[in-house]
Amino acid sequence: MSNFKWLPLGGLNLSAANLAAAEKLRRFGFAINCGEFGSEKYTKSALCVYDVLAEQETPNILIVTRQSEMYNWYRFLLTSIGADFKMVSGAANSLLYFYAESAGLYLISRETLFGDNVLKHKAGSDFKWNLIIIDEELSAGVPKYADYKKNIVWKSDRLLVNAPFPAKTANDKTELAELVRSVLSDENKASAAFSLGFDETACELRENSPVMRYFANAVYGGLKRDVSFADYGFEDTVLTYFRRKVDLKTGLPAYSAGGNVFEQYDCDKNETEKKIYQKSFFSRSDVEDLRGFDKKLDALMKTVGDILDDDEDARIMIYCCNKNTVEYLRKALVCVYGADVSVMRGELIINGAIKRKLTNRQDDEMAKITIGTDMLGTFVDGPDNVNYVLNYELPDSPAVLERRMTRHGAKKEAGRKFILFRDKNGVFDTPMLEKTLFLKLGDGFSGELPTRNILLDIKEKGEILSDLIKDLRYIKGYSDEVENCADLIKRVKIEYIVPETNDISNAKQLNDFADDKLRGLYRLFGLSDSSQAGDIAAAVNELSGLCIIGKDGKLEKSKKCAEAAATFGGEDYLNLPFAKEAVGGLAEGKAQIDELHKGADFHLKIKQEISELNDSIQYPVLYGIWKYRAKEQDSDHTFKDYIKIYNDGI
């Protein structure tokens, strides 16, 4: 029996962690992959997909993901295992043909699935999938399982859920279990979903649980990450002329990300710079004029310049939250650095990226400077050549801030520099960082599942938390004594970007807000009203790396990292069913190719071997053979050339 069928797995990282999801699907019928953002989700999922392709005559697979992730999925599956998925949109003609008895590989966005989509009309509720993958890796919180249960109207033999925050409460666990029971065709296997354990044992390489949360070895070892600040400031005399832009309907700030002075304030007193900001492109003199006024842009240009001068291998990723800010930075940076600047917009890179893969080009896919937003998915398991992450604007979620680091993969994370912008005026980035993000730090963790957050890698975290608690105590005390707190309420709504501040209109509501947030921080860090600044700093300074929120609600370091890391030390996983077939079969398949290549009728024998395989994997196997020949045996043929040779029988 030919081992050609495993050749499409060549080039994938067949580690114990990546193989585990397919093993769990074989054993339990479902798996919950709750690895952190950027932990090779695509590879794990592709192995699950290919396991189904290899064993089914007419496989039917459905992947549900975010709209912004669809092209990443398509690109990876096509260029890794040669699986060509059909993308289903909300348009009625996006799926003209659907036959239940034939093979079908489909990608659909969560947004489309939750609506009245063509797939629901074409595939009846009695249709059964071989595999459904639910991808919620972009979620900064627990997925809405009830919505998936309502809209996935079919059964499936296997179910894989990618979710970094799978459950934080007992109700979350129940909703997840109900989803598994609703989707999984085997009721006996589905019943195991009601006894899932989301705790530190999920980090161990174990066969007896469908839950997996695996990290790189360096993370288990307490990887220290390099976080620093780029400081800047406006002259106080300039700030006196600024008037904040507000939403006329709510009265709240129209811009909250912090950092783009033109979006945050009206800047009417600086008409010249304001007109330049609105231009479609900048000249060198425009950039100099803007730098003279916008001290944050000046700090960015200086930081980028210093990096490029000192590091010829630098790859810089600049994150923004506002599309106008992205365009602002693009115009300024392109003016100075030209073609070395690109904007990452997901689907716009798909055609060129696929072409590079199919022509075996090894050139760098990323410009020296890339600008993007948090809507980006992982970059096909993360280009590990990004070694500088610049946070020009800050999100209002600690989980989203964390994945700006992990998005680019863990392989070179120790050497990657994570730079935060901080203004001395305390009105731009500083409130978002020191008030909102630290106030919501608990949201960046997932109960008893070990989790990291980049905020705990900030050296000044003790001082920041101490100042935050001091401010909340002041707000509570002031609102206890003074009935008219209009000015303080206004400040709180500007500096604390949390939903609870939206409806504050009087002293009592302000007092309740401050008291509630203080109690939450006290519980999270084991503090009390009597805790002094030194106690507060000490409580947070002892936290770093993988942490959990215990049953008492306190954030603490995970104590089982070494124990979990030890489970990945051996090679016993290679004896598990899927690993044994895949890893062993791949090695034997390569050896078979080597042997056949010695003969004169190489392509004829290749055709004979491939014709004996299932129709659904004949193309992937042919693609896998080309990958092996091109990437490991230095063949200079493109995939197009190889197909022609194969068809001609040369």
Average pLDDT on 234-248 reads 82
Rounded CA separation 503/639 (Å): 60
251: number of CA atoms within 13 Å, CB side?
10
pLDDT band at 382 (very low <50, low <70, confident <90, very high): very low
Backbone angles phi, psi at 181, to 5 degrees: -65, -35
Rounded CA separation 423/264 (Å): 14
Task: Give the per-residue pLDDT at 378.
Answer: 63
* Integer angstrom CA distances of residue 547 from 10, 448, 630: 35, 8, 44
270-274, 439-443, 535-539: range with lowest mean pLDDT: 270-274
Task: Give the per-residue pLDDT at 13.
Answer: 92
Hey, what domains does the chain have and what are their CATH numbers?
4-214 (3.40.50.10810), 216-427 (3.40.50.300), 444-449+461-549+557-567 (no CATH)
- Write the pLDDT tens digit of every residue in 119-144: 998 998 899 999 999 999 989 999 99
In this structure, what token pair is assigned to residue 252?
């709240």
Average pLDDT on 303-317 reads 95
Burial of 599 (0-12, 13-18, 19+ CB in 10 A): exposed
Structural Rg of the chain based on CA atoms: 27
Pairing of strands 555-557, 547-549: antiparallel
- In contact, 390 and 301? CB cutoff 8 Å: no
How many other CB atoms are found less than 10 A from the CB of residue 97? 8
- In contact, 328 and 260? CB cutoff 8 Å: yes
Residues shown for the chain: 650
Rounded CA separation 650/645 (Å): 5
The dihedral formed by the CA atoms of 23, 27, 30 and 32, expressed in degrees to the nearest 10: -50
Q: CA 344 from chain center: how many Å?
A: 14
pLDDT at 12 over 50: yes
Average pLDDT on 603-607 reads 82
- Write the pLDDT tens digit of every residue in 34-90: 998 878 899 999 999 999 999 999 999 999 999 888 888 998 999 999 999 999 988
Q: Which residues contact 77 (CB under 8 A, 6 or more apart)?
A: 42, 46, 49, 83, 84, 85
- In contact, 169 and 449? CB cutoff 8 Å: no
Q: Which residues contact 160 (CB under 8 A, 6 or more apart)?
A: 21, 25, 30, 31, 33, 45, 48, 131, 132, 133, 134
Average pLDDT on 274-284 reads 95
Q: What is the mean pLDDT of the chain?
A: 90
Rounded CA separation 553/555 (Å): 7
- Write the pLDDT tens digit of every residue in 619-649: 999 999 988 888 777 777 788 888 887 787 6
Average pLDDT on 373-389 reads 72
pLDDT band at 347 (very low <50, low <70, confident <90, very high): very low
